[in-house]
C-alpha cells in the first residue's frame, strides 16, 4: 500500500490540496476516516503512525506537483505586480488598479488565502472604521456620490486586508513583486510628469493641473505622495547596495524626486524629507556593522548635497523658480482666515464633537467652502465618533507595533523599514490633506501589517529553533530519553541534528 492510500481521496485530489486548489481537509479530519476504514476507531488508539504517514503522503504529493504549484505562484506574482503597477493610473473611474486588485483578490481567494490572528486587529479596526461611514450615510443617501464614497472606502479597506493576508506565505518574494510593480509605475508616471511639465510632446497639458505636474494622476498632490515609497526604496538601495546597484538606484531616485518636486506639493516634499530621515535613522540603528553605519552616514551626507544641487539646478529654470516661490510660501490664501484650512480644522473639530454620528460622507463641504484637508477630521465628520476613533486607533497601533517590530532581524527588514518610514510620513501628512481614498495609502497599510505579522512569526520560529536543542539536551541529561524506546543515545543524536 502506497503512502497516498492513507488519504480519503486520490492522488489527483492530493495534488490539488497541495497546490491550494482542492478541498483543504485538515489531518484531524482525514485521519479518522482512515481509522474507521481499517476498523481502528477505538478509544485510546494511537494515531501517531498515521500522522507520520499522512505527512509523508503530503510531501510525496508535493514532489509530484511542482509544476502546478510553481505556475500558480507565478500567476499570483504576476497579478501582484500588475496591481502595484496600475496603482499609478487613475485617470478614469474605476481605474485599472481596481480591476487588477480585484483579479488578484479573487485569484488568491480561490487558490488559498486566510486571515491569521496577527492581522485580525487590522480587520477589526477597518470594520469599525467603515461601520461608522455606513451608519452616517443613511440620512444622506439622496446626496450625490455619498453612497459611492462609502463603497470606495470599503473596497480600499478590503485591499489593505488582502495585502496583509497574502504576505502570510512566501513573504519576501511576494512583497518584492508587489513593490517592483509600484516602483515601475512610479518611474513611468514620473517620466510622464516631467515630459508634461516641460511640454516636450504635443498635448502635454493633459499631464498638468494649475501649472503643476500631475503625471498619470488626477491631482498633483497625489502624484507627489505616490513617489515617496518608491523613492525611499531607491534611497535605501543607494545606502546599502553595491556600487553599481547604488548608481542605478541613484539615477531612479533623481527621476522620482524630480517628479515629486515638479508636483509642487508642499506636503509631499515634507513627507519625503521626514520619511527619509526616519529610514536613515532606523537603518543606522538596526545595522550591526560599524562599516555599514559609516557607509550610511557618508551616503546620507553625499545624497543630501546632491539633492540640494539638483533642486538648485531646477530652480535656475524661470518657470520652476516662479512657481516654487509661490508654493513654498506658508501663507497661501486658502490656508488663512476664519474658514481657511486651519480655521476649518478648529471649527470642524467642534462640530464633530457635537455630532456623534457625523455629518455624513462628503457633507463637510456643505458647511464650509472646501473639504477638511485633514484625514483624521474627515473620519469624524464623515463617519462620526466610531470612524474617527477607529482611524486614530488604527494609526496609533500601526505606528507603535511597527516601530517595535522594526528591530526584528528578518530577510525582508530593509523593505520593512522603507514601508514603515513611508507610513509614518503619510500619517503625518494626513493632518494637512485628505488621504483617506489614496490607493497607495491602503497598499502601504496592508503591506506593513503583513510584514509585521510575518516578522512576528519569523521571530517566534527562531526562538523555537533555539529552544529545541536545549530542551532535547536537558531531557537526555535527565534520562528522559528512556521514554522513547529505552534508547537515550538516539534522542541525543536527534537533538544534535536539530
pTM score: 0.80
Residue 233 grid cell: 526604496
The pLDDT score that the predictor gives to residue 297 is 87
Averaged pLDDT, 80-90: 94
Is the pLDDT at 243 greater than 60, yes or no? Answer: yes
Averaged pLDDT, 223-241: 92
Give the residue from 300, 295, 260 showing the smallest Cα distance to 280: 300
Averaged pLDDT, 155-159: 97
Give the residue from 188, 178, 299, 306 showing the smallest Cα distance to 241: 299
Name which residue leads in pLDDT, 406 or 71.
Answer: 406
The pLDDT score that the predictor gives to residue 246 is 85
Contacts of 162 (CB under 8 A, 6+ apart): 101, 104, 105, 108, 113, 446
Q: Are 212 and 263 in contact (CB under 8 A)?
A: yes
Averaged pLDDT, 324-336: 69
Averaged pLDDT, 180-202: 95
Averaged pLDDT, 373-402: 96
The pLDDT score that the predictor gives to residue 9 is 37
Contacts of 259 (CB under 8 A, 6+ apart): 189, 190, 191, 193, 194, 213, 215, 223, 224, 227
Averaged pLDDT, 335-348: 75
Averaged pLDDT, 223-240: 93
pLDDT tens digits, 263-304: 999 999 999 999 999 999 999 999 888 888 888 888 888 878
Is the pLDDT at 341 greater than 70, yes or no? Answer: yes
370: pLDDT confidence band, cut at 50, 70 and 90?
A: confident
Question: What spatial distance separates the first Cα and last Cα of the chain, rounded to whole Å?
Answer: 31
Lowest-confidence region among 360-374, 438-452, 479-493: 479-493
Name which residue leads in pLDDT, 498 or 64.
Answer: 64
Averaged pLDDT, 220-244: 91
The pLDDT score that the predictor gives to residue 468 is 63
Q: Residue by residue, what is the 3-state secondary structure of the chain?
A: CCHHHHCCCCHHHHHHHHHCCCCCCCHHHHHHHHHHHCCCCCCCCCCHHHHHHHHHHHHHHHHHCHHHHHHHHHHHHHHHHHHHHHHHCCCCCCCHHHHHHHHHHHHHHHHCCCCCHHHHHHHHHHHHHHHHHHHHCHHHCCCCCHHHHHHHHHHHHHHHHHHHHHCCCCHHHHHHHHHHHHHHHHHHHHHHHHHHHCCCCCCHHHHEECCEECCCCCCHHHHHHHCHHHHHHHHHHHHHCCHHHHHHHHHHHHHHHHHHHHCCCHHHHHHHHHHHHHHHHHHHHHCCCHHHHHHHHHHHHHHHHHHHHHHHHHHCCHHHHHHHHHHCCCCCCCCCCCCCHHHHHHHHHHHHHHCCCCCCCCCHHHCCCCCCCCHHHHHHHHHHHHHHHHHHHHHHHHHHHHHHHCCCCCCCHHHHHHHHHHHHHHHHHCCCCCCCCCHHHHHHHHHHHHHHHHHHHHHHHHHHHHHHHHHHHHHHHCCHHHHCCCCHHHHHHHHHHC
pLDDT tens digits, 32-70: 434 344 444 444 444 445 545 554 554 454 444 555 666
Distance CA(73)–CA(84), nearest Å, equals: 17
Averaged pLDDT, 473-485: 52
247: pLDDT confidence band, cut at 50, 70 and 90?
A: confident
Averaged pLDDT, 114-119: 92
List beta partners, residue 213.
208
Averaged pLDDT, 371-395: 95
Averaged pLDDT, 367-389: 93
The pLDDT score that the predictor gives to residue 53 is 57
Distance CA(448)–CA(425), nearest Å, equals: 13
Distance CA(19)–CA(202), nearest Å, equals: 50
The pLDDT score that the predictor gives to residue 301 is 86
Lowest-confidence region among 158-162, 193-197, 220-224, 239-243: 239-243
The pLDDT score that the predictor gives to residue 306 is 84
Averaged pLDDT, 426-440: 94
Is the pLDDT at 485 greater than 50, yes or no? Answer: no
The pLDDT score that the predictor gives to residue 331 is 63
Lowest-confidence region among 167-176, 186-195, 330-339, 416-425: 330-339
Give the residue from 227, 223, 221 showing the smallest Cα distance to 254: 227
Name which residue leads in pLDDT, 324 or 328.
Answer: 324
Is the pLDDT at 326 greater than 60, yes or no? Answer: yes
Distance CA(300)–CA(305), nearest Å, equals: 9
Q: CB atoms < 10 A from the CB of 291, how many?
A: 8
The pLDDT score that the predictor gives to residue 374 is 93
102: pLDDT confidence band, cut at 50, 70 and 90?
A: very high
Distance CA(350)–CA(482), nearest Å, equals: 73
**pLDDT over 70 for what percent of the chain?**
76
Name which residue leads in pLDDT, 296 or 484.
Answer: 296
Residue 256 grid cell: 522620482
Name which residue leads in pLDDT, 494 or 147.
Answer: 147
Amino acid at each position: 500500500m502506497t503512502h497516498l492510500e492513507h488519504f480519503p481521496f486520490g492522488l489527483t485530489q492530493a495534488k490539488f490540496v497541495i497546490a491550494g486548489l482542492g478541498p483543504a481537509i485538515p489531518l484531524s479530519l482525514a485521519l479518522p476516516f482512515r481509522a474507521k476504514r481499517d476498523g481502528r476507531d477505538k478509544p485510546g488508539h494511537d494515531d501517531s503512525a498515521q500522522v507520520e504517514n499522512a505527512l509523508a503522503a503530503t510531501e510525496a504529493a508535493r514532489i509530484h506537483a511542482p509544476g502546478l504549484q510553481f505556475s500558480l505562484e507565478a500567476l499570483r506574482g504576476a497579478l501582484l505586480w500588475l496591481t502595484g503597477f496600475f496603482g499609478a493610473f487613475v485617470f478614469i473611474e474605476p481605474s485599472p488598479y481596481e480591476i487588477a486588485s480585484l483579479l488578484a483578490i479573487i485569484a488568491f481567494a480561490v487558490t488559498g488565502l486566510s486571515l491569521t490572528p496577527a492581522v485580525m486587529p487590522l480587520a477589526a479596526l477597518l470594520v469599525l472604521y467603515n461601520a461608522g461611514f455606513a451608519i452616517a450615510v443613511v440620512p444622506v443617501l439622496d446626496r450625490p456620490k455619498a453612497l459611492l464614497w462609502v463603497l470606495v472606502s470599503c473596497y480600499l479597506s478590503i485591499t489593505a486586508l488582502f495585502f496583509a493576508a497574502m504576505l502570510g506565505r512566501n513573504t519576501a518574494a511576494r512583497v518584492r513583486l508587489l513593490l517592483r510593480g509600484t516602483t515601475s509605475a512610479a518611474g513611468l508616471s514620473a517620466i510622464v510628469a516631467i515630459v508634461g511639465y516641460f511640454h516636450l510632446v504635443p498635448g502635454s497639458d493633459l499631464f498638468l493641473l494649475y501649472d503643476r505636474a500631475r503625471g498619470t494622476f488626477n491631482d498633483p498632490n497625489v502624484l507627489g505622495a505616490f513617489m515617496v515609497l518608491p523613492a525611499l526604496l531607491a534611497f535605501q538601495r543607494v545606502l546599502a547596495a553595491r556600487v553599481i546597484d547604488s548608481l542605478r538606484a541613484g539615477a531612479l531616485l533623481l527621476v522620482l524626486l524630480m517628479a515629486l518636486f515638479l508636483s509642487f506639493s508642499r506636503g509631499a516634499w515634507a513627507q519625503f524629507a521626514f520619511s527619509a530621515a526616519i529610514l536613515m535613522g532606523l537603518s543606522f540603528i538596526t545595522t550591526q556593522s560599524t562599516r555599514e553605519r559609516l557607509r550610511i552616514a557618508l551616503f546620507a551626507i553625499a545624497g543630501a548635497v546632491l539633492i540640494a544641487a539638483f533642486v538648485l539646478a531646477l530652480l535656475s529654470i524661470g518657470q520652476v523658480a516662479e512657481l516654487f516661490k509661490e508654493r513654498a510660501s506658508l501663507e497661501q490664501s486658502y490656508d488663512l482666515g476664519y474658514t481657511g484650512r486651519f480655521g476649518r480644522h478648529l471649527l470642524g473639530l467642534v462640530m464633530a464633537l457635537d455630532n456623534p454620528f457625523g455629518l455624513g460622507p462628503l457633507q463637510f463641504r456643505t458647511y464650509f467652502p472646501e473639504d477638511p484637508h485633514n484625514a483624521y477630521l474627515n473620519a469624524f465628520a464623515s463617519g462620526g465618533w466610531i470612524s474617527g476613533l477607529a482611524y486614530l486607533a488604527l494609526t496609533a497601533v500601526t505606528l507603535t507595533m511597527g516601530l517595535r517590530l522594526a528591530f526584528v532581524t528578518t530577510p525582508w527588514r530593509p523593505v520593512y523599514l522603507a514601508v514603515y518610514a513611508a507610513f509614518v510620513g503619510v500619517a503625518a501628512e494626513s493632518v494637512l490633506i485628505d488621504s483617506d481614498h489614496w490607493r497607495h495609502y491602503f497598499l502601504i497599510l496592508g503591506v506593513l501589517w503583513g510584514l509585521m505579522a510575518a516578522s512576528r512569526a519569523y521571530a517566534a520560529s527562531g526562538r523555537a529553533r533555539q529552544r529545541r536543542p536545549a530542551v532535547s539536551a536537558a531531557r537526555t541529561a535527565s534520562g528522559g530519553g528512556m521514554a522513547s524506546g529505552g534508547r537515550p543515545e538516539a534522542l541525543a543524536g536527534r537533538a544534535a541534528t536539530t
